[in-house]
Amino acid sequence: MGVILLIIVGAAAGFIATRIMKIETNVFVTIAIGVLGALLGGLVLRLLGAMLGMAFGFIGAIAGAVLLIWFWQTYLK
C-alpha cells in the first residue's frame, strides 16, 4: 500500500512540478520526477529540521539557565 501511495503522490507532485517549470514529459517521467523529488525534499527537510531542532534546543537551554539564575537571585539569595 505504501508503494502505491508513493506513486500516486509522486504523480501529483511531478505533474504540478512539470507545470510550474513548464516542461512536457510522459507519464512515467512525471511520476519519476515526483517520487525522486519527494525523496530528495524529504531528506532536505529532515536535515533542516534536525539542525533547527538542535538550535531550538540550545535556545531553550539558554532560556532555562537564565530562568534558573533569575530564580536563584530573586528567591534564594
* DSSP sequence for 4-41: HHHHHHHHHHHHHHHHHTT----HHHHHHHHHHHHHHH
Looking up cell 515526483, which residue turns up?
A: 34
Predicted confidence pLDDT, tens digits, the chain (77 residues): 677 887 888 889 999 999 999 999 999 999 899 999 988 888 888 999 998 988 998 988 999 999 999 999 999 87
Cα 46 to Cα 18, 43, 72, distances in angstroms: 24, 5, 38
Q: What is the extent of the structural domain holding 24?
A: 2-76
Q: Is 54 exposed, middle or buried, given 0-12, 13-18 or 19+ CB atoms closer than 10 A?
A: exposed
At 67, which amino acid appears?
A: L
Total tally of structural domains belonging to the chain: 1
